[in-house]
Structure 1
Amino acid sequence: IYFLLVTVCPKMHYLYTGDIIALGFLISIYFLFKSYQQTQAAGYLFYSFFFIGAGSILFPQFTILSVLWLLEAYRFQSLTPRSFCGALLGWMLPYWMLFGHAFFYNEMELFYRPFNQLLTIGEFFNLQILQPWELAILGYLLVMFIVSAVHCIAAGFEDKIRTRAYLQFLIDLTIFLFLLIALQPIYCSALLPLLIISNSILIGHFFVLTNSKSSNVFFIISLVGLILLFAFNIWTLL
């Protein structure tokens, strides 16, 4: 589903910062999930936050996700003083490595740059700067997310407790990313790949576990919507 959504948006075929950090984003989520109800979760959170820290060097606003990660680690019953220190060390390690490189080559500006960019705040709710194709894909993702999230909440009793916790995390993450894009549209190109990843998992879960007449109709409508979205994006390129 992720590659299908990327395919219908030709402008996303270019390499953005978000495409690079998307891999670290997935690995970080994997280790966060591995920490679920682990009594010795320090190692898992260390690796999870290491990839957040590494990604934040390229895209400093990626650090904001660490707040959500800590809240979800608490929900997963894996956040303890020891695992918190492990998470903190994991986030700091890429910056220690960057500091060593910058200090050795006398390029300290390279070390300061992510922190300066993190403090750079764009205009709030300035949605006018978004391109038409970005608004179109965001609208499509929002509709698909609402339907998928409602299904997850309504039919959550059919899933295992661990699965429900994972799905709730993905719902929280998707809402968080939507809010970030709404607050700071200037970072939409970097956040959009992350939003598509979290949304794709929820959409896939919805289509796999539903087999009613209404869900089949919605599946057809969503495919038609994808085709129309692709046609619109091609038209905007002409």
Structure 2
Amino acid sequence: MQKKRIQNKIAESRWTQVYVVSAAALVWIIAGLHHPAVIVPGICLLLSTYLMMELNNGNALIRIYSRMVSCSFLVFATMAGFMFPSVRAAIVMLGTVGYYTLSFRCYQDAHAPGWTFYAYFCIGMASIAWVQILFFLPIFWIIMRTNLLALSIRNFCASILGLLLPYWFFSGYLAAKGDLSVLVNHFAQLAVFYEPFRLTSLSVSELVMISFVLLCALIGIVHFLNQKRNDNIRTRLFYQIFITVDLSAAVFLLLQPRHYEALLSMLMVTTAPLIAHFFALTRTRLTNWMFVFLSCSAVIIMLINLWIFLHTSF
């Protein structure tokens, strides 16, 4: 019998989620008391965390009992103190989690227009906050065919309707205000491209945060590819989705660093299951030290970003 190390005790503990949620709630409450703009993103994070729990529980993303998927996600979201007031980032995060949670219910079901409609409604909702998420649509449709095995004319039409519904409400609101030009300008942003690879436009805190998330993504991807034979086919297909979207978002971020906050939100959502899989299912001394290093780094980054947020926001 293999020895349980600190990594495994924490990853398999029923109390881990309680402690992580409590610590994250404390951080967000402190930030909210200092800056009321944090309240709405905090509510979005609460909903996103619940959906991450549903995503893990409903799809058995990890083949042992572990709550590391939702815990990893919550740690990522709480580390980025500079993004706490960003409603756009919070909505993109919620929309991405909602898309995964709902679209995975369509697995091998070409006659699931309801779940497909709701999944793409989440993408449509996120696109109102950040229209560039529409660039991911071809990837999502390909994924529906190759990984979810659910692409059909009926489901495809449902996805279009789901995307359009938020804009039906949005355009009605703008029409009532008599300012439909906002909608035109909104879609015009799809044709706006900023200087690529300009990472110098990001602050040190932002660079550290994205480096940490990408490091976790790399570790999770390499680990999964090395041991994917131990998972069932359904789980492999789901993790391939996470890897595909993760790599796509990382490339998008390098090409357009201007969209840092929204893309980091997507990366947090898609990286959480990958690094959680690594934490929960490895048992070597090396991986234990990697877990300790990443955990301590996360706490340090979170404290530094929180301190900066409390001393620079008004």
TM-score (norm 2): 0.70
Counterpart position of 1:180: 252
- Of the three residues 74, 77, 92, the one matched with 1:6 is 77
Query: Structure 1 residue 230: deviation in Å?
Result: 4.1
1:70 aligns with 2:141: yes
Alignment correspondent of 1:35:
106
Structure 1 residues 99 and 14, CA, compared in 2 at 3 Å: closer, same or farther? Answer: closer
Q: Give the C-alpha shift of residue 69 in structure 1.
A: 0.8
Distance 1:160 1:54, change over 3 A: same
Output the CA distance in 2 between the equivalents of 1:21 and 1:136. Answer: 21
Shift of 1:35: 1.1
CA–CA distance in structure 2, aligned partners of residues 155 and 8 of structure 1: 29
Partner of 1:30: helix, strand, or coil?
Answer: helix
> What's the % identity of the aligned pairs?
28
Residue 18 of structure 1 deviates from its aligned partner by 1.1
Q: CA deviation at 1:233?
A: 4.2
Do the aligned residues in 2 keep the contact of 1:53 with 1:93 (CA within 8 Å)? yes
Residue 168 of structure 1 deviates from its aligned partner by: 0.8
In the TM superposition, residue 197 of structure 1 has moved relative to its aligned partner by 1.6
Question: What is the rounded CA distance, in whole Å, between the counterparts of 1:192 and 1:92 in structure 2?
Answer: 25
Q: Is the Cα contact below 8 Å between 2:76 and 2:213 reproduced in 1?
A: no
Who is 1:210 aligned against?
A: 282
Question: How many aligned residue pairs are there?
Answer: 238
| 1:223 partner letter | S
TM-superposed deviation, 1:202: 1.1
Q: Is the 8 A contact 1:133 1:236 kept in 2?
A: no
Distance in 2 (CA, whole Å) between partners of 1:67 and 1:193 is 20
User: 1:194 matched to which residue of 2?
Assistant: 266
**Partner residue of 1:102 out of 174, 178, 198:** 174
Structure 2 CA distance for aligned equivalents of residues 25 and 11 of structure 1: 20
1:47 and 1:90 in contact (8 A); partners too: yes
Q: Is the 8 A contact 2:110 2:155 kept in 1?
A: no
2:129 corresponds, among 44, 55, 58, to: 58
Give the counterpart letter for 1:84 in structure 2: F
CA–CA separation in structure 1 for the residues paired with 2:198 and 2:173: 37
- Look up the equivalent residue of 1:14 and give its one-letter code: P
Matched, 1:84 2:147: no
SS at match of 2:140: helix
Give the structure-1-normalised TM-score. 0.91
Segments ≥4 residues shifted beyond 6 Å: 234-238
Cα offset, 1:131, TM superposition: 1.0
**In 1, are the aligned partners of 2:105 and 2:115 still within 8 Å (CA)?**
yes
Point out where structure 2 has 5 or more consecutive residues left out of the alignment.
1-71
CA-CA distance at 1:227 after TM superposition: 4.1
Alignment partner, residue 223 of structure 2: 151
Relative to structure 1, the CA distance from residue 235 to residue 78 in structure 2 (aligned partners, 3 Å threshold; closer, same or farther) is same
